[in-house]
């Protein structure tokens, strides 16, 4: 009996610790790896970032979402994309002469360079995109419970301009660059920018 108590004295705390860690990972936050250059310069390929599942999605939040059944090319049920929220439900979004407009107001995009803002962006609005890419949802506004997202490096980003809106139910959480990342500008551009 004494041996059993000794074993349980160290097994029980380990089991409880693992259960707490699993609950935190499932409900509060997890770590993900950025794959590809679409969020440069703020997030680099292979960079690990935290995804806070309890954080509220806002304009310019960087989010992680399950891309299966969002992007037709995302065949795996486990494919996750990292993008920045430009349009919230009910917003109009357009691009003219290298500037983004949300509800008719020019969006300040100091978090990326002029090159990243203008290359590959073109002139468009939601109505034109729905027709050009034959989206299933034909609209001039971001639908209820959905987001319009773009990558920070527009010329290489596969985003809402091509396949449409991200349903809120597909969002896994809001990205936060960990405090130990030494680049304060990058931390600010991902963690703190809002519209």
* pLDDT tens-digit readout, 154-175: 999 999 999 999 999 999 999 9
Helix ranges (H only) for the chain are 2-27, 114-118, 126-132, 160-163, 184-191
Q: What is the mean pLDDT of residues 187-195?
A: 77
The pTM score is 0.86
Mark whether 83 is an active-site residue.
yes
Residue with tokens 């490096």: 153
CB 82 within 8 A of CB 63: yes
Q: Which of 61, 80, 83, 157 is catalytic?
A: 83
- Say how far residue 64 (Cα) sits from the centre of its chain: 4
So where are the chain's domains? 31-191
Q: Which residue has the higher pLDDT, 92 or 122?
A: 92
Superfamily of domain 31-191: Umud Fragment, subunit A (2.10.109.10)
Mark whether 194 is an active-site residue.
no
CB 39 within 8 A of CB 152: yes
* pLDDT tens-digit readout, 22-72: 655 555 578 888 999 999 999 999 998 989 988 899 999 999 999 999 999
């Amino acid at each position: 009996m004494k041996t059993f108590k000794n074993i349980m004295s160290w097994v029980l705390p380990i089991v409880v610790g693992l259960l707490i860690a699993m609950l935190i990972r499932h409900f509060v936050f997890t770590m993900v790896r950025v794959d590809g250059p679409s969020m440069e310069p703020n997030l680099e390929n292979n960079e690990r970032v935290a995804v806070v599942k309890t954080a509220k999605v806002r304009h310019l939040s960087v989010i992680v979402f399950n891309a299966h059944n969002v992007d037709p090319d995302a065949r795996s049920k486990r494919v996750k994309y990292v993008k920045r929220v430009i349009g919230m439900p009910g917003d109009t979004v357009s691009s003219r002469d290298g500037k983004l407009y949300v509800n008719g107001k020019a969006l300040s995009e100091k978090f990326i360079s002029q090159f990243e803002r203008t290359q590959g962006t073109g002139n468009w609005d939601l109505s034109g995109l729905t027709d050009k890419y034959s989206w299933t949802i034909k609209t001039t506004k971001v639908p209820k419970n959905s987001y319009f997202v773009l990558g920070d490096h527009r010329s290489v980003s596969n985003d809402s301009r091509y396949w449409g809106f991200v349903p809120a139910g597909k969002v896994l959480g809001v990205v936060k660059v960990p405090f130990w990342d030494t680049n304060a500008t990058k931390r600010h551009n991902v963690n703190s920018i809002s519209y």
